[in-house]
Amino acid sequence: MGFLRNTIAFAFVAVLVFYLAMAGELAEQEQYATIGVMLVLGFTFIFSGQPKFVMPETGQVPSNQPSVETESVASESEVEDSVSTVEAPLPDKMTLKERKAAKIRAAQEAQRAAMATTSDQIEVELPVVTVEAVHVADEYVVEVSPESVEEADIQATVAERASRHSEIRQRIEARRRSQMADIRASSARMWEEHAVREDLVELLQKEGHGIAVLDEPAQPEAGHIYGATFIRIDDQRVLKYRSPLDSGFEAVITTEKVLENESIELPPLIGPDGNPLPLPLPGPSGALAALKEEMNE
């Protein structure tokens, strides 16, 4: 039986390898035939195992003396009833597997009997659960209409476009600030090149210049591009003024008072013929004006 099962398994593996290797070249009918052969081999391998073991009926040990008297029969029945759960004597002709199966069956019967006796003796007290208040969940119904779905899509599209436009504005603003800073720096360099004065930057780069540099402001605000301007105060001190280059111009505060508009009479309007112009025509009535506005809208 073992050789047959090994042969079937080897044939199944060989057919499977053949099918996997030649799956692209086989026709549809050939593929179905190969699968059918594999199924037949598989079922044959499964159902070709050893037959189920049938427990032999335990016979009584033959006795040398004939049991004719009733007393001997009664004693034998009492012994069989009292030792029902104990392992029965095994005949000499039983094989090793049959003996092991008989021992396992006797042990299982003894275990079942012991569990039955212990389950009858032990009384389990089940806890009593009292429910004070019970809340039943209400039904929640969500209505979805095409209008609500369309509104949600519109809102999502508007929000996406707004975020995209804000990012574009931020990039444009940053680019304009950098361009403004470059323009101001180039203009400052141009004015410095044309002006004939002392080069304080070159003087301060030398070691041991002996000049005290005063920073203004002492702690500039972070996040800006600053340009430095050096101003000599005296022979021993130089002021270093740092101004932001990426901010707009500041309005100059003037202390001059604005003249109040005096009431001046307008000159009379004279037409081309030398006569004063007539008064304007009266406006339309309220109903006509409303109708005109509706038509314009």
Among 41-50, 107-116, 277-286, the least confident range? 277-286
In whole angstroms, what is the distance from residue 241 CA to residue 95 CA? 111
State the pairing for strand pair 237-244/212-216: parallel
Whose tokens are 């969500």? That residue is 142
Whose tokens are 């009431």? That residue is 263
Amino acid found at 88: A
Other C-beta atoms lying within 10 Å of the C-beta of residue 76: 13
Question: Is 286's pLDDT higher than 70?
Answer: no
CB 1 within 8 A of CB 48: yes
SS3 label, residue 213: strand
Higher-scoring residue by pLDDT: 185, 197: 185
Give residue 250's pLDDT: 58
Question: By percentage, how much of the chain surpasses pLDDT 70?
Answer: 68
Give residue 204's pLDDT: 81
Phi, psi of 244 (to 5 degrees): -70, 135
Show the tokens assigned to 239: 């002021």
In whole angstroms, what is the distance from residue 170 CA to residue 177 CA? 11
Scanning the chain, the segments in alpha helix (DSSP H) are 2-21, 28-47, 70-82, 96-121, 146-194, 200-205, 286-296
Q: What is the DSSP secondary structure assignment for residue 217, as one 8-state letter? A: S
Give residue 165's pLDDT: 93
In whole angstroms, what is the distance from residue 156 CA to residue 150 CA? 10
Show the tokens assigned to 186: 């180039």
pLDDT bin (cut points 50, 70, 90) of residue 172 is very high
Among 35-39, 273-277, 285-289, the least confident range? 285-289
17: left (phi over 0), alpha (psi -120 to 50) or beta: alpha
CB 247 within 8 A of CB 224: yes
CB 50 within 8 A of CB 5: no
Question: By percentage, how much of the chain surpasses pLDDT 90?
Answer: 7
CB 257 within 8 A of CB 278: no
Q: What is the DSSP secondary structure assignment for residue 276, as one 8-state letter? A: B
Chain Cα centroid distance, residue 92: 72
Phi, psi of 278 (to 5 degrees): -70, 165
Give residue 161's pLDDT: 92
In whole angstroms, what is the distance from residue 42 CA to residue 12 CA? 7
Higher-scoring residue by pLDDT: 75, 200: 200
Among 46-60, 98-112, 283-297, the least confident range? 46-60
Q: Where are the domains of the chain?
A: 2-47, 146-196, 198-248
